Amino acid sequence: MDQRTYIMIKPDAVARGFVGRILQRFEDAGLTFEKLEYGVVTREQAAANYVEHQGKPFYDGLVDYITSGPVVKMVLRGPGAVAVCRKLMGATNPADAAPGTIRGDFGLVMDANVIHGSDSPESAEREIGVFFG
């Protein structure tokens, strides 16, 4: 069944020049780009996206990082897109991410995680609304 998911290449990966290589991995996996946008995340979008983390000790740093520079926001479509993307991205902490995954190959530290991806079809639709209206 075709499914949509939300993916964001974060400021660290954009600044280090990994956008093309990361996008290629999604294409190679058979996913299609429904929407693709280079831009910045506003503090309001960051707050809406990370609402479940408000009040946690790392929240302010998370918002500061995601708004610190340009990102690439996208909606990907394909069979099982959420699970396919989660597998391509690897474990959240780059130290735990397997080689061959995006985080395993490009991530340096957890606080500057190189990519975000929706963790369920429901969160994908919510996040698509936050970033694409």
Domains of the chain: 2-37+71-132 (3.30.70.141)
Q: Residue-wise over 20-52: b if at least 16 C-beta within 10 A, else e?
A: eebbebbeeeebeeeeeeeeebeeebbeebbee
Return the bridge partners of 7, or none.
74, 117
CA-to-CA distance for 130 and 112, rounded, in angstroms? 21
Residue type, 86: R
Mean of all residue pLDDT scores within the chain? 95
Pick the catalytic residue: 4, 10, 86, 116? 116
Q: pLDDT per residue over 69-97, tens digit each?
A: 999 999 999 999 999 999 999 999 999 99
What pTM was estimated for this model as a whole? 0.94
Is 116 noted as a catalytic residue in this protein? yes
